[in-house]
Structure 1
């Protein structure tokens, strides 16, 4: 048995976002979410665009409210800072990153449909729910909502 290192990714690129939302830098996302070169830039771009669309849609009313208040971009919205960055920026990117990785993992079997690939997809599938939960929590934090929804019957 030999070890074959995954290919390194192609030159990093950026997914441009709407005027209010920050752009998503693929190299930074790869580092943060531990995505190696087996995920092509084309596949990653597709997943990031989908994640940004979903996150932007979930935050549409909040964004409109901020724009009415005169803020033209997420980084202009007053917020606490951690590590020199707005917590809103950090939460937004967390949501996009987590949804991106969840999307990639869900489609893992497309990449490798052998028994080994399907088994790896099953193992990775357990973390899809965690990633989606983390994205939902980040979005709810931006909205100022609780992480728990309780309904009395």
Structure 2
């Protein structure tokens, strides 16, 4: 069920990744992040693909480090080399899914707009910023950084 009370038809569509990071699932995204039922499958897939590209770019340095350590696939990594592989794969998905939701929330106003049914939580800039922050926290976790970075000037 989406925000609007309309049933959400889950779409079993995979979004292929680069082989290193886990593939993504539109249905998993829909279930885990309660997207409005009004979104077309193409818009969901597009949002996931865009977010995936951005997160992959943010994590390029970490990917290079792990490849140098012999890891060729995060989810299937040797537990002796990457003991937290399951956590890292889940955190990667959170980074992508939160970023995709932030992107898609911006689109909602153009998908469905009825004055009597406006829902500020779906469209507010604060909600978008919160999901971008969730995504960035997940990226920083994978990079091995904390929530805050300080530099001595």
**Please, what TM-score do these two structures have when normalized by structure 2?**
0.83
Write out per-residue CA displacement over residues 59-93 of structure 1, whole angstroms, 9 at most, x where no aligned residue. Answer: 00110111111111112161337xxxx11011100
Q: Give unmatched runs, 5+ long, in structure 1.
A: none
Q: Which residue of the partner structure matches residue 78 of structure 1? A: 82
CA distance in structure 2 between the partners assigned to 1:29 and 1:139 by the alignment: 17
Query: Structure 1 residues 61, 116: closer, same or farther in 2, change over 3 A?
Result: farther
Write out per-residue CA displacement over residues 122-141 of structure 1, whole angstroms, 9 at most, x where no aligned residue. Answer: 75432111111111111101
Q: Which residue of the partner structure matches residue 131 of structure 1? A: 131
Q: How far has the Cα of 1:116 moved from its partner?
A: 5.0
Asked if the contact 2:121/2:127 (under 8 Å) is kept, the reply is no
Question: After TM superposition, which residue ranges in structure 1, 4 or more long, deviate above 3 angstroms?
Answer: 113-124, 150-153
For the aligned residue pairs, the C-alpha RMSD in angstroms reads 2.4
Query: Structure 1 residues 148, 124: closer, same or farther in 2, change over 3 A?
Result: same
Q: Which residue of the partner structure matches residue 110 of structure 1? A: 110
**Please, what TM-score do these two structures have when normalized by structure 1?**
0.83
Q: Which residue of the partner structure matches residue 47 of structure 1? A: 47
Q: How far has the Cα of 1:143 moved from its partner?
A: 0.7
Q: How many residue pairs end up in the alignment?
A: 146
